Structure 1
Amino acid sequence: MPDIREENKDIINCVLESMQGFVVTDLDGKIIFLNDRYADILQVDRHEVIGKDVIDVIPGTRMHIVARTGREEMGSLFKLKNGESVLVNRIPVRKNGKIIGVAAFGSLSMLDEMSTVATIQKIGHLSQELNQYKSELNKLRGAKYSLDQIIGNSPNLIKMKELIKKVAQTKSTVLITGETGTGKELVAHAIHQLSTRSHHSFGRLNCAAIPNDLLESELFGYEEGAFTGAKKGGKIGKFELANCGTLLLDEINQMPLYFQSKLLRVIQEKEIERVGGNKPIDIDVRLIFTTNRNLLDMVHQDSFREDLYYRINVMSIEVPPLRTRVDDIPFLVEHFISKINKELGLNITGIDDKVIELFQTYYWPGNIREMENTIERAANLALQGKLTLELFEHFLLRKEKERSRNENEICLETVRFKAEKETIIRVLAQTNANVSMAAKLLKINRSVLYEKIKKYDIRTM
């Protein structure tokens, strides 16, 4: 009596081999099965490619992307190595709800009939139109900048770029810190562009630019008739507009305390409620925050909620100030000259080496934004040719004032530090090194006092 299981195996193998193209990969994108017909088209030995990366064997495939996102792709137009086009389905393979691999197969065979050719051409045309519309939509509501537009290759910048790549692959909230003008928003754009949400909206809201009484309606939206002057039909807020995408809340340190609790609830519950509404709306938004202030200091000063701070500071990226990456200045200058020429229609051909040397010795309190404005001012004076030292007279005066101010600040800071250290030592002596009692006498938080003890290297025993 024949083995039924063996007969079934033969039937399955015949089905797989009869398909125009059939390939299976594991979760890492390694090929674990390739049928003979597809191996012939690829001009490879099916046994030799087992275990190889699918992207090395099938150029242009998206199987590794399907493995990462878990989303099937049905009816994608794909050009084979022999020049023929087919419609391909890519399906994640799951076991107990967990993705273990990806299968891809053609849904139209390569026939010469006019109907098949016409169908593929029509799909190709529609695909081009769709890509065009997506491109236009991204210009309106997507991220403008990519990782390539973060200029420089200094060690701390390279380290930051590597961190951006890792952070982009997660869904966690991100806190971007750094001084004014360092390019924190640009980092947020790059995270969105590298993420799986890049084809969805990238929303932005500057917390310092919106009056407190309008903040809730801007973020959550409102229903018709919610308040006097409300638009007919209501308004969709930033959270809904960015659904399935990314929302950047710039200068989160400027968000008022009363609203921080509402934001905390949104992060925890993943739902919002429009102003004047009574129905919760589920949202799937990745949140990115920026700040130019130390939020932990604000927590100690009771001007920022501690529970919100730890909610938003899951992944943190610190953008280095320009003064710590002076080797990047020549590349930044070249980039800004090219940008200014394009935007203003000028013909600046370069910059004097003495100006670069001057730039590399300046403190740059306004960081990259200040440097761009400095170059633009000189370019407007020159209009064309090389930017020489004479064109930066205004900058030289500012540099001298900044030097004098820094010297005065250093003197004052030294006096203040000395007085503060002596006061802490005296109070600790009075309380027999009881930090809690000393903090009460000094009228500061105990954690702040511990930080100052560590800062000034004060021995409490």
Structure 2
Amino acid sequence: MMDRTSKEYTAFLEQVLEQVDGTIVTDAEGKVVYLNKKYADMLGVDVGTSIGKHAREIIPQTRMDIVAKMGQEEIGSVHMVKGTIPVVCNRLPVMKDGKPIGAVAFTTFRKMDEVASLFAEINRLNLEIKEYKSELVKLRGAKYSLDQVVGSSPQLQKVKELIKKVAPSKLAVLINGETGTGKELFAQAIHQLSPRKHKPFVRINCAAIPKELLESELFGYEEGAFSGAKKGGKPGKFELANEGTLLLDEINELPIFLQSKLLRVIQEHEIERVGGIKPIEIDVRLICTTNRDMQDIVRKGEFREDLFYRINVVDVSIPPLRQRKEEIRDLTSHFIKKINVNHGLGITGIKENVLRLFERYRWPGNVRELEHVMERAAVMAISGELDEAHFDYLLPRLLGNTETDSAETNGSASLGKVKDVAEKQAILNALSKANGNKTAAARELNIHRTVLYAKMKKHGIV
């Protein structure tokens, strides 16, 4: 090759360019410098007479002159040749000393079915990637991040900041809070913010599994360990969570006889299967949750003190909803969007009078109760705004379990206020009993229908 003349090199390069489906080269002004025979045949022109012509004379819709002038490549451009032949081409500027001196274009396909098959393959691969990602999320077990935690109250912001600080570490975390506050959601957020986010997130509820089975669920068992044991044995939750995170939900329900074994696992970083004879090394980040006062349980002797201090390296307390009622409006908006998607509904919002009632309620079931209440009402309404009528089943509970203002709390509620609450509840009960028929409800209350209308307007009942 080194002995070849420049003429032979030129002939060799031209032969290479002739192998491409379609090749055209222009100078900086867009005039054709080179056109291979394949492209000329496709265009229905002669190679010899095309050289020196402006590219637009043989390809009216070309952009070769623009690419040559701007010096910017155009990849995957689709245009029609002779009005019927779809062509996909890549146009590249020819650069010298940092300036464009021409352009070259290569057609990569001549048949649309070839393009379509490529797009179909790309779509198939994208779907596969999406499915794999979805499966990976399921295998990891954690699907919620801290960004998905709705709420901006000072109490919740404090919790979020604490989680951001401790998540990257290996420290054990104890999350405490009332039922329905979303403790598992925060546990998943810790996992997602940690270096273990690509590893498994495994959860086990210590209260949901019979005590006699809990040991094998946690630590696994060897073949023949007990009657009914699977052939080959079975790994426990600790093994499944290796290199990832293990959530022990309702840790306060862990039996005393397992607490000592858990303490050893935390200290030695190894487990022993039921019926096993050799230890198995593990690397697990432990997160525990509880809805009870753990110190009180420790004082009563129901939980080992040394284990408590091992799992309570970082204490995260989730405030109940009644202490952050300013979040109710954001939460209801969030749940409406979620419910609309899950159930195919068209709920547009919730009436202000209902929100005010929500803000007076104590919400003993916390965020979970609010979500279930919203979901039931939305399914009944199907579309439009949610009003008091959609929460008729809940109103006696709402009115009977509301938080009053400071004067009422101090025992100085006015007689008029008490009468108003009782009157409103009586009207709602009558309307519910009459299935919304106002004439029947007025008869039930032994008042005239016009009086009922006036009282409904007074109490904001639609």
2:400 aligns to what? 401
Structure-1 separation of matches of 2:376 and 2:177: 25
What secondary structure is seen at the aligned counterpart in 2 of 1:180?
Answer: coil
2:343 aligns to what? 344
2:332 aligns to what? 333
1:92 aligns to what? none
The one-letter amino acid of 2:211's match is N
> Deviation of residue 129 (structure 1)?
7.1
Matched residue pairs, number? 284
What secondary structure is seen at the aligned counterpart in 1 of 2:389?
Answer: helix
Gaps of 5+ in 1: 1-81, 84-124, 405-409, 412-461
> Deviation of residue 181 (structure 1)?
0.3
Contact kept, 8 Å, 1:142 with 1:200, in 2: the verdict is: no
CA offsets per residue over residues 329-385 of structure 1, 9 Å max, x none? Answer: 111000111111111111111110111111111111100001111111111211111
What secondary structure is seen at the aligned counterpart in 2 of 1:259?
Answer: helix
1:320 aligns to what? 319
Contact kept, 8 Å, 2:173 with 2:287, in 1: the verdict is: yes
Contact kept, 8 Å, 1:246 with 1:287, in 2: the verdict is: yes
Contact kept, 8 Å, 1:208 with 1:255, in 2: the verdict is: yes
What secondary structure is seen at the aligned counterpart in 1 of 2:202?
Answer: strand
Structure-1 separation of matches of 2:133 and 2:270: 27
1:228 aligns to what? 227
Structure-2 separation of matches of 1:127 and 1:349: 34
Structure-2 separation of matches of 1:375 and 1:126: 39
The one-letter amino acid of 2:225's match is A
1:174 aligns to what? 173
> Deviation of residue 126 (structure 1)?
10
Contact kept, 8 Å, 1:272 with 1:281, in 2: the verdict is: yes
CA offsets per residue over residues 250-275 of structure 1, 9 Å max, x none? Answer: 00011111111111111111100011
Relative to structure 1, the CA distance from residue 303 to residue 168 in structure 2 (aligned partners, 3 Å threshold; closer, same or farther) is same
The within-5 A match list for 1:275-286 is 275-286=274-285
> Deviation of residue 402 (structure 1)?
3.0
CA offsets per residue over residues 194-240 of structure 1, 9 Å max, x none? Answer: 00000000000000001000011101111111110011111111001
TM-score by length of 2: 0.59
What secondary structure is seen at the aligned counterpart in 2 of 1:375?
Answer: helix
The within-5 A match list for 1:110-259 is 133-259=132-258
Structure-2 separation of matches of 1:362 and 1:282: 50
> Deviation of residue 191 (structure 1)?
0.2
Contact kept, 8 Å, 2:354 with 2:388, in 1: the verdict is: yes
Contact kept, 8 Å, 2:176 with 2:317, in 1: the verdict is: yes
> Deviation of residue 140 (structure 1)?
2.9
What secondary structure is seen at the aligned counterpart in 2 of 1:152?
Answer: coil
> Deviation of residue 142 (structure 1)?
2.7
Structure showing greater Rg: 2
CA offsets per residue over residues 398-442 of structure 1, 9 Å max, x none? Answer: 1233359xxxxx99xxxxxxxxxxxxxxxxxxxxxxxxxxxxxxx
Structure-2 separation of matches of 1:357 and 1:403: 11
Gaps of 5+ in 2: 1-71, 74-123, 404-408, 411-462
CA offsets per residue over residues 105-127 of structure 1, 9 Å max, x none? Answer: xxxxxxxxxxxxxxxxxxxx999
**For the aligned residues, what is the CA RMSD?**
2.3
> Deviation of residue 394 (structure 1)?
1.6
> Deviation of residue 133 (structure 1)?
3.3
Structure-1 separation of matches of 2:179 and 2:287: 17
The one-letter amino acid of 2:253's match is Q
> Deviation of residue 135 (structure 1)?
4.4
> Deviation of residue 138 (structure 1)?
2.1
Structure-2 separation of matches of 1:214 and 1:400: 44
What secondary structure is seen at the aligned counterpart in 1 of 2:208?
Answer: coil
What secondary structure is seen at the aligned counterpart in 2 of 1:215?
Answer: helix
Of the structure 1 ranges 240-249 and 339-348, higher mean CA displacement relative to structure 2 is found in 339-348
Contact kept, 8 Å, 1:223 with 1:276, in 2: the verdict is: yes
TM-score by length of 1: 0.59
Contact kept, 8 Å, 2:328 with 2:358, in 1: the verdict is: yes
1:370 aligns to what? 369
CA offsets per residue over residues 288-315 of structure 1, 9 Å max, x none? Answer: 0000000000011111111111110001
What secondary structure is seen at the aligned counterpart in 1 of 2:163?
Answer: helix
Relative to structure 1, the CA distance from residue 355 to residue 217 in structure 2 (aligned partners, 3 Å threshold; closer, same or farther) is same
Identical-pair percentage: 64
